[in-house]
Amino acid sequence: MNNLLKIENLNAGYGGIHVLFDVNLDCTRGEAVAIVGPNGSGKTTLLNSIFRLADIFSGSVILDGTEMQKEKSHKVTGRGVGYLRQEGNVFPGLTVEENLKMGAFNLPKGEVGERMEEVLSLVKPVVPFLRRTAGTLSGGEREMVALAVSLMCRPKLLLLDEPTSGLSPIASAQIAELIKNLKDKTRLSMLIIEQNLKILFDVVDKCYLLVSGRIIFSGGPGELQCDKELMRTYLGLA
Amino acid sequence: MSGQWFLFSVDLLALFGIYLALNLSLRLQLGYTGIANFGLVLAFTGGAYVGGWLPIRLGMWLVEVDPSLADDMIWNNVIIASQVDLSLHGSPGTAMTILLITLLAAGAAGALLGLQSGYPAVRLGGDYLAISLLAFGEVLAIIGNNYDPVVGGPLGVRIPDVWAWAGDWRFMAASLANCALALGVWLYLDSIEKSPMGRMLRAIRDNPDAASSLGKNVARVRLNVMVTGGIICGLAGAMYTLYTTGVAPSALSRFDWTFLPWVMVVFGGSGSNVGVLIGTFTFILVQKLIISYKFALSFLPFDPVWLQFLLMGLVLILVLNFRPSGLVTEKASYALSRREMAKAAGKESL
Amino acid sequence: MASFIDALTYSALLGLMGFGLTLIRRTTGVWNVAHGEVVTIGSYVALTATSFLAHSPYFYLPLAFLVCAGVSGIIFLAGVEPIRAKGASSILLLVVTIAISLIMIAVINIYADYLQNVFHLSSKNFLFARFDFTLLGQMGILWAAWAALAALTISYYLVLQHTRLGLALRALAEQPTLAVVMGANVKSLSLLSWCLAGGAAGLAGCLFPMRFQCHPGVGTSMIATMFAVSIFGGIEKMYGPLLAGLVLGFAQIYGIDLLSSWVGPGVIPFKDLIPMIVLLLTLQFLPEGLSGFVGRRRG
Amino acid sequence: MHGAMLEVRDVKKSFGGLKAVDGVSISLPRGRITLLIGPNGSGKTTLVNSITGFLRPDSGHVYLEDKEITHWPMHRICKEGMVRSFQLPAPFGGLSVLGNLLVACESACGESLLKCPLKALWKTTEKDNVREAFAMAEAMELTPYWDAVMSETSTGHIKLAEIGRALLAGAKLVILDEPICGVDPVMADEVFSFLIRLRDEQGLTFLVIEHRLDIALKYADYVYVMNQGKLIAQGSVEEVLNDSQVKEVYLGS
């Protein structure tokens, strides 16, 4: 089994609201998978359900052979999952260094310093802000810090929720560059939600198109790009 | 024995009426509008102080009393009250005039107190508002307990009995009057339920921003609701004072007149009149029974009154755990009947 | 001078009481109305221990700390957490703590009645001033109260700034969901802060009867003042309660003395209005509190 | 101004150091559907919030039919004829779908604490409102769910009910923030067709923020494009789509 993450017949939502319907998805080691789809189609809920931040009604989320739907939220990181959330992804009142330390909360205390050096070598642009309070950073800088923080837990699988949303083209390109770099240098698997498809087309190995809580397409990014009908209808790319 | 039961039921009825009015006022604020008023005791105390201050002065003015007694109203209040009582025995007209004027004044006091506690309600939300109203609620108690001229300090004053003319039926008359107040409030809330007003209040409760974007003046509606709630509490406070013919600031506690109503309303369900009624009746009955059977429980090495606190706390925790919206849940209702709506929409039926 | 010392002592006790409220609100977003009763339990631990085991009440400070930490922890685990886990609103959680406070009022009073009826202790009104020692010409309570408050605030500050646990607690207060995503166990961290808060209240309760009259409703009657300390101090910084305790304590005891010497003794009974007025003014005009205001001016 | 429905001049709004809206001026002609597009975080919603009184703009002016409405509270702006919907679902959860629609209808006497007990005062108005609300439910294809409680309704239906609500508030200018987000494509087309009908029959003016350009562009009379808090392009659909700057930031090419 080379599958790192396998999601089977997942039905999930929040309280009484059903968001995801029978979602199936898998991600092998070292693969970058994109989840695309219009606003409100349930992409974030999908990532949240891996962390049990959304309620799972039925189906299973299997990471490396372990059923995650029975795990408590705070144990998921320890299983090797890093999560870059779309909003609220840094602690604004803490310094960047403290943010990074907090990101390594599940690691043994002795390894934190070592891991921080590793991460900083992967996300070099963060180094100059280490002493600054995260709340005072600009959007792009903050996103970069958040990416570094999500790497601190030595993840096998990294979940990225719209890492370039709300950023200037230059900052977006910088983030995309970092992500590509990560993929090349480490055997990290990634699950990426992105609206700005063009940026990621050359990073991603596989795409899932999620519309109204259902997967309606899966395949390589080239296939999706070729399918003009799908591109037009659901992604708003005229 | 039957006499004892009669007194028990009459007192039960009296308390029930007062609490039902008070709880319905909380329902208007919490259930409809979403204002967590933890300062119910404020307007209630305001009404009670008016009830303690005004009738005795009205009485002195309307009936013959030794004028030298007026030198020290507080010191002489028992003598004055009993002299006024004697006159009121034979003149229900005077008594009812005193009652009406007192109620008017108590309503006005309640409205004023509601208005001033409404000021933070417009700016604050959630638990900060709750804490702020809780603090407001303490203010009158502190003043009443320390400033004798209001209602005689912590021990309070006795006031003339406006129900004295009913003789043996005095308690019955007062209880029925309390229930009449509750009935009036009930009917008023029911008419809100069955009008566009109820709909708008719930809209403001559920999403103030959206309601505001649809042209509802949220701040003013909240203020109006606080004032209306204050009036009801003020009336209840005055009626309670007139029923017990006395008022003691130390007895107007946060526990009895804020927390207890909250327990009743949360237990029964703040979204429904019937729920509030069930909650009120249950807890009043339990309270009365515990007090009545106090002597039967005298083998306990403590005052059985505390059992009531214990019971209330436990019930509330259970309700919040297993049925947070209360025993009776809110139902979506319409201003018009289904038949009227079908007719308006030009359909056979809905 | 006596009232100055009184004010200083009272301030420290207020600070200790407010400390817990602030901590609980900061880390778990709950205003704990039952905190007043936890303070009372501290006083009754002191009463029970000094009555049955002799020694000075100071001797039982650790015991009061532990008992109250335990009680506060149980309140959180059994009362608050199950309902919070269901996504209850802050108002509903406030109602939960009211329910708990009702239960605790009952238990405290039953216990006080029991002590009085069975052991003939004067459990409804007690004062331990006779146990106190003197140091540098002042009552020991003054030193003890300030030592407790300072030790608590400083050690908490050190833990927050220099340990991993402290980092997690700060993270939890800022972005709870993100803290979970990073592997922090929110439940045990919350439990820890409730216990610590209870412990602080226990210290305050144990020390209170050294100088002031105690009765079963002592904490209940002071809860609004505690809220004033917590909100006036500001919940963002843990030195807030210390600061607010000082201001309010002095205003309530020393300030009212000064005021009465100007306008006459008629104002003294209204000293309890001061915290209420301060609380209401803070909420209206300085919502971030004293410490937030100071922090803002600086940064 | 020249009789434009809405005139927005140099509106600025920042949060802390972030300039969310940095000097935007737009003008909406009467009886047109204007589309406002831009990538996530470009400041579209903040602009709408500053126009509609939900936020206070730091500077700039807003005129509705030549009347200055800058800094007016939301409810007063609504009464003046401009109503908006919200991007995230904002249902009145405790009310039914029909109840949500009815909230938007004017009912002066029925919505007063003093007058509401007297049914005679508001009965006729209420009947008219019910008729209108049912007609709107019909148009939004919500008739089968009219009695369902909003908190238990699906996101798509909530969005539709909210559009209906905004349309029922009796406005001349309707601002819709991502109206078809979460609505299925077929229904989304119908929503826009309905807006077109309202534009043609009642002369209503619309400002629509939308992400799903494939659907929205077909119906737009005029398009504004925002990025980084600034307007970067405006014009007809073709003009905007061929603008190199738009391609650059919006489509990422």
- Parse chain D into domains and list their residue ranges: 4-251
In this structure, are strands C138-139 and C134-135 parallel, antiparallel, or unpaired? antiparallel
Per CB-CB distance under 8 Å, the chain D contacts of B194 are 119
Pairwise pLDDT comparison (D145 vs B14), residue with the higher score: B14
Residue of B nearest to D55 (CA): B209
pLDDT above 80: residue A55 = yes
Q: Is C126 helix (H, G, I), strand (E, B) or coil?
A: strand
pLDDT above 90: residue D202 = no
Share of chain D above pLDDT 90, in %: 21
Report the distance separating Cα B294 and Cα D15, nearest Å. 63
Q: Is B226 helix (H, G, I), strand (E, B) or coil?
A: helix
Buried b (16+ CB within 10 A) or exposed e, B140-162: bbbbbbbebebbbbeebbbbbbb
pLDDT-based confidence at A1, cuts 50/70/90? low
Buried b (16+ CB within 10 A) or exposed e, A146-159: bbbbbbbbbbbbbb
Give the nearest partner residue to B309 out of C86, C102, C231, using CB atoms: C102
pLDDT-based confidence at B151, cuts 50/70/90? confident
> Which tokens belong to B8?
């028990």
CA of B99 vs chain C CAs: smallest distance (Å): 32
Per CB-CB distance under 8 Å, the chain C contacts of A88 are 175, 177-178
Give the nearest partner residue to D253 out of A138, A165, A198, using CB atoms: A198
Contact C98 B146 (CB under 8 A): no
> Which tokens belong to B105?
């004044």
**Cβ(C297)–Cβ(C290) under 8 Å?**
no
pLDDT-based confidence at A226, cuts 50/70/90? confident
Contact D166 B188 (CB under 8 A): no
Share of chain B above pLDDT 90, in %: 38
Report the distance separating Cα C241 and Cα C11, nearest Å. 10
Q: What is the pLDDT of residue D2?
A: 56
Per CB-CB distance under 8 Å, the chain A contacts of C182 are 77, 102-103, 105-106, 149, 153
Q: Match 């959180």 to its residue by tokens.
A: C76
Helices marked H in chain C: 2-28, 35-53, 61-74, 81-85, 90-119, 140-162, 164-174, 176-181, 186-207, 218-233, 240-249, 256-263, 273-285, 289-298
Per CB-CB distance under 8 Å, the chain B contacts of C94 are 36, 38, 127, 130
CA atoms within 13 A on the CB side of D12: 11
Give the nearest partner residue to C99 out of B131, B308, B320, using CB atoms: B320
- The one-letter code for the residue type at D225 is V
For chain D, report the end-to-end CA distance as a whole number of angstroms: 36
List all residues 6 or more positions away from A113 whose beta carbon is below 8 Å from its beta carbon.
none
Segments forming the whole domain that contains residue B10: 2-253
Q: For D184-248, what is the HEC assignment? A: CHHHHHHHHHHHHHHHHHHCCEEEEECCCHHHHHHHCCEEEEEECCEEEEEECHHHHHHCHHHHH
> Which tokens belong to A237?
């790319």
List the single best residue of C163, C167, C182 to mutate versus A (max A Cβ within 10 A): C182
CA atoms within 13 A on the CB side of D241: 13
Report the distance separating Cα C268 and Cα A139, nearest Å. 55
Any D CB within 8 A of B334 CB:
yes
Segments forming the whole domain that contains residue A16: 3-235
Q: Which chains have at least 3 CB atom pairs separated by less than 8 Å from chain B?
A: C, D
DSSP of C219-280: HHHHHHHHHHHHHHH-SSSTTHHHHHHHHHHIIIIIIHHHHHHHH-GGGGGGGGHHHHHHHH
Which value, to the nearest 10 degrees, does the dihedral of the CA atoms of residues D57, D205, D7, D230 take? 60
Task: Write the pLDDT tens digit of every residue in C181-235.
Answer: 888 888 899 999 999 999 999 999 999 998 888 999 999 888 988 998 988 888 7
CA atoms within 13 A on the CB side of B219: 9
Share of chain A above pLDDT 70, in %: 89
Dihedral sign from CA coordinates of B322, B325, B326, B332: negative
pLDDT above 80: residue D249 = no
Helices marked H in chain D: 44-51, 74-80, 97-104, 119-139, 155-168, 185-202, 213-216, 237-242, 244-250
Task: Write the pLDDT tens digit of every residue in B47-94.
Answer: 999 998 888 888 888 877 777 777 777 777 888 888 888 888 888 888
Phi, psi (degrees; rounded to nearest 5) at D156: -60, -45
> Which tokens belong to C206?
């144990």
Q: Is C89 helix (H, G, I), strand (E, B) or coil?
A: coil
CATH number of the domain residue A49 falls in: 3.40.50.300
Give the nearest partner residue to C171 out of A51, A85, A94, using CB atoms: A94
Q: Is residue B290 part of a domain?
A: no
Per CB-CB distance under 8 Å, the chain D contacts of B205 are 94
Contact C167 A109 (CB under 8 A): no
Number of domains in chain B: 1
Per CB-CB distance under 8 Å, the chain D contacts of B207 are 90-93
Give the nearest partner residue to C280 out of B136, B143, B313, using CB atoms: B136
Contact A53 C168 (CB under 8 A): no
Contact B310 C90 (CB under 8 A): no
CA distance readout (Å), B199 to A5, A220, B106, D92: 48, 51, 29, 10
Q: Which CATH architecture has domain C2-298?
A: Orthogonal Bundle (1.10)
Q: Match 């052979």 to its residue by tokens.
A: A65
Any A CB within 8 A of C164 CB:
yes
**Cβ(B27)–Cβ(B189) under 8 Å?**
yes
What one-character DSSP code corresponds to residue B348?
Answer: S
Report the distance separating Cα A193 and Cα A196, nearest Å. 9
- The one-letter code for the residue type at A5 is L
CA of C91 vs chain B CAs: smallest distance (Å): 5
pLDDT-based confidence at A196, cuts 50/70/90? low
Judge A/B contact: 3 or more CB pairs < 8 A. no
CA of B200 vs chain D CAs: smallest distance (Å): 6
Give the nearest partner residue to B301 out of C104, C107, C113, using CB atoms: C113
Query: Of A19, A16, A68, which Cα lies nearest the Cα of A214?
Result: A19
Judge A/C contact: 3 or more CB pairs < 8 A. yes
**Cβ(B249)–Cβ(B264) under 8 Å?**
no
Question: Spelled out in words, what is the top-level CATH class assigned to the domain D4-251?
Answer: alpha beta
User: Would you give per-residue pLDDT tens digits along chain C (299 residues)?
Assistant: 677 788 888 899 999 999 999 999 888 888 999 999 999 999 999 999 988 887 888 889 999 999 999 999 999 999 899 988 887 888 889 889 999 999 999 999 999 999 988 888 888 888 887 777 777 777 788 888 888 888 888 888 888 888 888 888 888 888 888 888 888 888 899 999 999 999 999 999 999 998 888 999 999 888 988 998 988 888 777 788 888 888 888 888 877 878 888 887 777 777 888 888 888 888 877 777 777 666 555 43
Q: What is the pLDDT of residue B298?
A: 78
B170-179, B307-316, D11-20, D161-170: least confidently modelled range: D11-20
Q: At CA A11, angle to CA A8 and CA A17, rounded to 5?
A: 165
Q: Mean pLDDT over residues B29-46, rounded?
A: 91
Give the nearest partner residue to A94 out of C170, C180, C185, using CB atoms: C170
Give the nearest partner residue to A212 out of D184, D214, D249, using CB atoms: D184
- The one-letter code for the residue type at B79 is I
In this structure, are strands D67-68 and D82-84 parallel, antiparallel, or unpaired? unpaired
Any C CB within 8 A of A106 CB:
yes
Binding-face residues of C in 157-186 toward B, CB within 8 A: none
Residue of C nearest to B315 (CA): C99
Q: What is the pLDDT of residue C275?
A: 85
List the single best residue of A51, A73, A149 to mutate versus C (max C Cβ within 10 A): A73
> Which tokens belong to C92?
């509903």
Per CB-CB distance under 8 Å, the chain C contacts of A74 are 180, 183-186
Task: Write the pLDDT tens digit of every residue in D18-66.
Answer: 788 888 999 999 889 999 988 777 888 899 999 998 989 999 999 998 8
Phi, psi (degrees; rounded to nearest 5) at A59: 95, 180
Report the distance separating Cα D250 and Cα D37, nearest Å. 9
Contact D182 A39 (CB under 8 A): yes
The mean pLDDT value of chain D amounts to 85
Residue of B nearest to C108 (CA): B306
Domain boundaries, chain C: 2-298
Q: Is residue B272 part of a domain?
A: no
Any A CB within 8 A of C171 CB:
yes
CA atoms within 13 A on the CB side of C270: 16
Q: Match 């891991």 to its residue by tokens.
A: A115
Q: Is D11 helix (H, G, I), strand (E, B) or coil?
A: strand
CA of C185 vs chain A CAs: smallest distance (Å): 6
Which value, to the nearest 10 degrees, does the dihedral of the CA atoms of residues C41, C43, C47, C48 take? 20
Q: Is residue B145 part of a domain?
A: yes
The H or E element spanning position B17 is helix B2-26
Residue of B nearest to D84 (CA): B213
Phi, psi (degrees; rounded to nearest 5) at B18: -60, -50
Report the distance separating Cα B152 and Cα B144, nearest Å. 8
Per CB-CB distance under 8 Å, the chain A contacts of C27 are none
Residue of C nearest to B254 (CA): C221
**Cβ(A8)–Cβ(A60) under 8 Å?**
yes
Judge C/D contact: 3 or more CB pairs < 8 A. no
Number of domains in chain A: 1
Q: For chain A, what is the HEC assignment? A: CCEEEEEEEEEEEECCEEEEEEEEEEEECCCEEEEECCCCCCHHHHHHHHCCCCEEEEEEEEECCEEHHHCCHHHCHHHCEEEECCCCCCCCCCEHHHHHHHHCCCCCHHHHHHHHHHHHHHCHHHHHHCCCEHHHCCHHHHHHHHHHHHHCCCCCEEEEECCCCCCCHHHHHHHHHHHHHHHHHCCCEEEEECCCHHHHCCCCCEEEEEECCEEEEEECHHHHHHCHHHHHHHHCCC
Any D CB within 8 A of A169 CB:
yes
Per CB-CB distance under 8 Å, the chain D contacts of B224 are 113
Q: What is the pLDDT of residue C92?
A: 87
Report the distance separating Cα D221 and Cα D209, nearest Å. 13
Contact C31 B312 (CB under 8 A): no
List all residues 6 or more positions away from D120 whose beta carbon is below 8 Å from its beta carbon.
none
> Which tokens belong to A81?
């999952």
pLDDT-based confidence at A238, cuts 50/70/90? very low
Task: Write the pLDDT tens digit of every residue in D107-138.
Answer: 777 788 888 888 888 888 888 899 999 998 88
The mean pLDDT value of chain A amounts to 83
Any C CB within 8 A of A186 CB:
no
> Which tokens belong to C239?
């030195």
Any C CB within 8 A of A149 CB:
yes
Per CB-CB distance under 8 Å, the chain B contacts of C224 are 134-135, 138
Q: What is the pLDDT of residue B222?
A: 92
Report the distance separating Cα B39 and Cα B29, nearest Å. 11
List the single best residue of B308, B309, B315 to mutate versus C (max C Cβ within 10 A): B309
CA distance readout (Å), C12 to A30, B326, C247: 59, 41, 10
